Structure 1
Amino acid sequence: MNTQIKFEKSSIANMPSKYGKFKIRAYKEGDQEHLAIFTENFEQQESPLVRIHSECLTGDTFGSIKCDCNNQLHKALELIAQEGGLIIYHRQEGRNIGLLNKINAYSLQDQGRNTIEANIELGFAPDQRTYDVVGEIFKDFNLTKIRLLTNNPAKVHVVEGLNVTITERVPVIINPNPHNEGYLKVKKEQMGHDL
């Protein structure tokens, strides 16, 4: 973890939702602001359910079906409301290339490139996310053991690198649709996601 980064955090507030009662705290990392959304009881659990959800404005907010982000987020909210746990809403849009470049990548995908090819053509790595804030949030909540809600092997490696034990990896399986089949195929075959 980069010790040069200064983090700020908000107070904790209540966030009732259609899934249940949550608490929420914001974390500021440079000019990026991230969220921790959690159930009241999760800190009492020996190995709480945790999802690191990467921001996707088009999917999460507008319901785009070019990806599986919206379905994964809402499935995670349901599971965590039932079992107790934490969602880190990791605000690094488009695998951290930003919204403008993500839409440019979408345009290239409309022309036949896949998600990795589009990022590379725009001059970016296939995935530019950083996870310093995740380590900060884990430290803030004294997390040492978790059940990780993910399909992404890179996030498993990130968590292991933070000296947090993953007692179980819980997949988030979402049925494909005609608009995201290619995207999910790339995630599975080229990025190693468990789908």
Structure 2
Amino acid sequence: MPSPARIRQSVQVPLHHGLGAVLQADLMTFTGLADVGEHLAVRLGPPAEVPLVRVHSECLTGEVFGSARCDCGPQLTEALRAIDAAGGVLLYLRQEGRGIGLYNKLDAYRLQQQGLDTYEANRALGLDEDLRDYAVAAQMLGALGHNEIDLLTNNPDKREQLLRYGIKVRDTVSTGVFANPYNTGYLRAKVVRTSHTIQLKGSA
């Protein structure tokens, strides 16, 4: 288990994010995180003995500009709604492009336009397929007092890493499928290469 982190500050912020009704959220910052990153926790909904948790990696292109090349924007909106209903927290990690950064991610986009999948593109740039480490997520959960959670994800690596870092995952709740003509190859690569539980049409 990583060393403990502490809540640095908590501030109430109303969120709309295309959600219709405004959601009342507490946004929390932390000190003592392993990577010294500026990661956020977004607490929503009623108190829950076992909170619903989404560990969500930042995606500027998908969440701010609405890129259709991924499913990150719709996943974020889905998670905010689900957590507000069930009670829990969204951990927003500043790990753009599975940890490779914004500029490298855009370089990888160009390689994908030439026929590589998202993982092959990372490798072609001399980077790992996925550089994310969820130690900071475990630290944030510990600071919030959540040692047992229900995890909203279709990525088995998130569950496995959290378990390894001492967080008990009572249940895993799959995210929705947000496929469109521009991202089906990206989603299929996640299913084939990293066993994401995404039920694509035409997949076994």
TM-score, scaled relative to structure 2: 0.88
Q: Deviations over 1:54-113 (max 9, x none)?
A: 111100111101001001000000111111110000111111111110100011111111
2:121 equivalent to 1:118: yes
Amino acid at match of 1:12: S
Q: Aligned equivalents of 2:88 and 2:72: distance in 1? A: 19
SS at match of 1:163: coil
Find the counterpart in structure 1 of residue 11 from structure 2. 13
Amino acid at match of 1:125: D
Match 2:37 to one of 4, 21, 32: 32
Match 1:96 to one of 99, 109, 112: 99
Counting aligned pairs with the same residue, the percent is: 39
Q: Aligned equivalents of 2:36 and 2:156: distance in 1? A: 27
Match 1:146 to one of 144, 149, 162: 149
8 Å CA contact 1:71–1:174 kept in 2: the answer is no
Amino acid at match of 2:38: E
SS at match of 2:9: coil
SS at match of 2:97: helix
2:162 equivalent to 1:159: yes
* More helix as a share of residues: 1
SS at match of 1:78: helix
TM-score, scaled relative to structure 1: 0.92
Structure 1: gaps of 5 or more residues? none
Match 2:186 to one of 172, 177, 183: 183
Q: Deviations over 1:6-64 (max 9, x none)?
A: 9675310001112410100123645521110002643xx22110000011110011110
Query: What's the Cα RMSD here?
Result: 1.7
Q: Deviations over 1:126-177 (max 9, x none)?
A: 0001222112101101112111000000001011112222111111112311
Structure 2: gaps of 5 or more residues? 17-21, 199-204
